[in-house]
Chains A and B, each alone.
Chain A
Amino acid sequence: MSTTITQQIDLEKLKQAIDEVVYTQIDSTILYYVQSCVNCKACEAGCPFSADGLEYSPVNKAEITRQLVRARFTVWGMTIGRVIGGAKKYLKLDEAQTLADYVWHCTDCGSCMFVCPMAIDSGALIELMKQISFKAGIIPKVYKELEDLEVSEKYWDIKEIQDIWNGLINKIGETIGKSVQLDKKNSEILLYSSLYEALVYPDVIIKTAKILDMLGKDWTFMSKPLGIRPPIGIVIGDSEGSVEVMKRIYEYFKEINPKYVIMTSGGYDYPTLRYRMHEILKVKPNYEVAHITEALAKWYEEGEFEIEQLDEVITWHDPCQLSKRGGVIEPPRVLLKALSKKFKELPNHGVNTLCCSGGGGSCSLPSTIENLAKMIGYTLDESDKKFLEDRVKSLKNAGKKKIEEINKIKPQKVLTGCPVCKESIGFSIDYYKADSKVYHIVEILADRIKVKGK
């Protein structure tokens, strides 16, 4: 086991965190996930981190939650289980270190659920571990720093961040040849972007705006981002902080009152803003949150535009949060089939797509985190560096499997719909020197969309 977080673990604080999380979060779903696992280890085959070691297989990681729940909620766990094992009321120091290590070896990608014959979502159990870890203060400092900035909204006080965002707005304006409508109420579409996307793929946002403009849509953009990659709290286990940020996002959406909120990211923010935010806040939105591929597929099928074909082998990497967690599998395929007759599926796709290991709980490429840290003036300490180094190891292991399957079909272009997938697969392509290139689907589509009658 590699321990990635070396700061002092306060066992008293950890005890309190365990009680708070386990006692408050138990419900029939978690109970089912805890007691129905048959330990068949089928989930091992779905998890990108099994390649880092079998101890990172979903069932093994999630066992910590199971033991904590059993000790509190099962007759066996409250009695014999505590003596012969299988149930633990609290964790010892070495177990706490294991927990700290395991939680960052899960992207909450959902693969384990689809591979599990019992449909158990180990990711959901690991998420509880992450909440415990956060409450106990066992968290990579750089993530905590970024989230604090997001929750407090202080990121907007940083001039460099303002420059990046305002620069993006200007570039969109230059591309469409007119000034961008900002925060316009009652527009049909709100083009949603986080600061993170503006940083890693501004071109994708600009090209999406170009498409909306070409199609003559009534759309608006945000005068400032609603967070760094909101809500970061969801992926680092800060349930309270994430609620604060979600309230802010919801208030903004409600105020702008669009018909559609369209995003280019198919990362964890997609299912979060689409479902989870509303479930947590217990509100029924008047708008529909959609990925850009859902909107484009619909408009394409309704005949709003044609797509000029490519004569190349292309494939699609299903982002886990978009496909497995979000259920968006068909729409990108409508577009890809129109884009090239040589569209080929990867051997594992749809709900069985192999995770790039960069998303969800792992929070993107280490180099991007380093850049963000630099931008906000935070100096990475030794534990942060060690943590990020470990992330690179996982990316290489998961990337190897991804590249092997990409090489099987040898596409010229791998298209996807998520900033982190694009970064992670790009990293693997470079590292393993594959012949393909990776793009966000909008990057290719924007120049090949022909609006009818124009």
Chain B
Amino acid sequence: MVAFPYYPIGNSLYNVALSLFIPTIFFFFAGATYRIGRYLITYHSPLDVNPSMPLRGKVSGGEKIKDLVNTVANSSKVGAKRKPITTIVGLLMHLTLILIIFLLAQHMIFWAYYIPPYSALFPLAIPESAEDGLLALTMPGHPTTTMAYTFVNDIWGPLTVILNGQILTYLLMVFLAIYLAHKFYALAERLVIRAGDWWFFLLLFIDVVLGFLASSHIPNNVTWYDNLLGAHILVAEIIIATLPFTRGFHMFEFWFGKVREWYFMTFRRGAK
């Protein structure tokens, strides 16, 4: 009679996934260098034809900063007015995604392992589920180990009832499903839809589902858990490695585009 069933440690997708993390990062940087390099090679600086503009006057420092804020906020403001549903779903999807990727307690441990200073953000950790949330700062429970306590002793307080991995994941799945539906709608309208559109969303959707299944222990079996978690990390690695070639790269380029728009509108006033 065996007290515990045999568990083949080191023989799951989890280990494969972990060992592929560094190569993934390498691919990502190689791709990003290629993408940015192309910009640098084809760049030529614009000619400033109007160095002094007496009729137009100077723009003060305060106005320039106000312009920058407006530039970044304008698309969301106009979108919320003219296309409220897609804009609000889009904004919430981004917010949910950012919270999950960067502040979910499990993900934070992962990031901190590779980038140790990341641990400075631990007090912001979002617990995996509402039950863990009960152990939050304002509702202290009695954890059995200090490690668990550290990760749920967060600043979110009662908010952890909604600000937890499970609820955020449900929301994210709904938002991503709306996005995918949006793509089908575009297809039905015979509008252009690119491979990068459904590929990125599909991978993201699969990845969120895998992460959800693993962390919820569905099915409740340790081998399944390791494989699901491994698959979750593997899909994330595919996303990261291919980021420089997909729409996902907009998380870096967004800033560049907006600053560029601001520069042209505020300093050069309208030159393209």
Contact = CB atoms under 8 A, between A and B. Distances in A.
Contacts of A85: 194-195
B191 A327 contact: no
A38 B251 CA distance: 10
Nearest to A260: B55
B257 A118 contact: yes
Interface stretch (A26-34, A159-167, A441-449): A26-34
Given A32-B39, A54-B191, A326-B269, A352 B78 contact: yes
A55 to B, nearest CB: 7
B57 interface: yes
Contacts of B256: 32
A183 interface: no
B79 to A, nearest CB: 5
Contacts of B192: 39, 59-60, 63
Interface centre among B71, B191, B193, B194 (most CB of A within 10 A): B194
B142 interface: no
A284 B144 CA distance: 74
The 3 closest A-B pairs by CB, nearest first: A327-B269, A119-B257, A278-B49
Given A31-B39, A32-B257, A271-B270, A86 B250 contact: no
A118 B35 contact: no
B50 interface: yes
A143 B139 CA distance: 74
Interface string B260-272: 1100010011111
A326 B272 CA distance: 9
Contacts of A118: 250, 253-254, 257
B53 interface: yes
Nearest to A44: B83
B51 A298 contact: no
A422 B209 CA distance: 55
21 contacts: A27-B43, A28-B40, A42-B90, A45-B78, A55-B191, A63-B192, A85-B195, A86-B195, A114-B74, A114-B261, A118-B253, A119-B71, A119-B75, A119-B260, A120-B257, A275-B50, A276-B272, A290-B55, A294-B56, A298-B54, A325-B272
Contact of B194 (A31, A39, A288): A39
B38 interface: yes
Interface of B: 35, 38-40, 42-44, 46-47, 49-57, 71, 74-76, 78-79, 82-83, 86-87, 90, 182, 186, 189-197, 245, 247, 249-250, 253-254, 256-258, 260-261, 265, 268-272
B272 A38 contact: no
Nearest to A67: B192
Contact of B49 (A42, A45, A284, A290): A284
Contacts of B35: 35
A115 interface: yes
A402 B83 CA distance: 17
Contacts of B40: 28
A38 B247 contact: yes
A436 interface: no
B63 to A, nearest CB: 10
Interface centre among A44, A85, A118, A325 (most CB of B within 10 A): A118
B75 A288 contact: no
Contacts of B247: 37-39
A274 interface: yes
Contacts of B195: 81, 84-86
Contacts of A121: 272
Interface string A110-132: 00011111111100100000000
Contacts of A38: 247, 250
A46 to B, nearest CB: 7
Interface in A117-162: 117-121, 124
A431 interface: no
B47 A282 contact: yes
Contacts of A39: 186, 192-194, 196-197, 247
A32 B90 CA distance: 22
B57 to A, nearest CB: 7
A275 B253 contact: no
Interface centre among A28, A75, A325 (most CB of B within 10 A): A28
Given A28-B43, A44-B83, A63-B192, A36 B257 contact: yes
A32 B191 CA distance: 22
A252 interface: no
A324 B53 contact: no
Interface in A175-209: none
A63 B53 CA distance: 37
A351 interface: yes
Nearest to B74: A114
A265 to B, nearest CB: 15
A278 B47 contact: yes
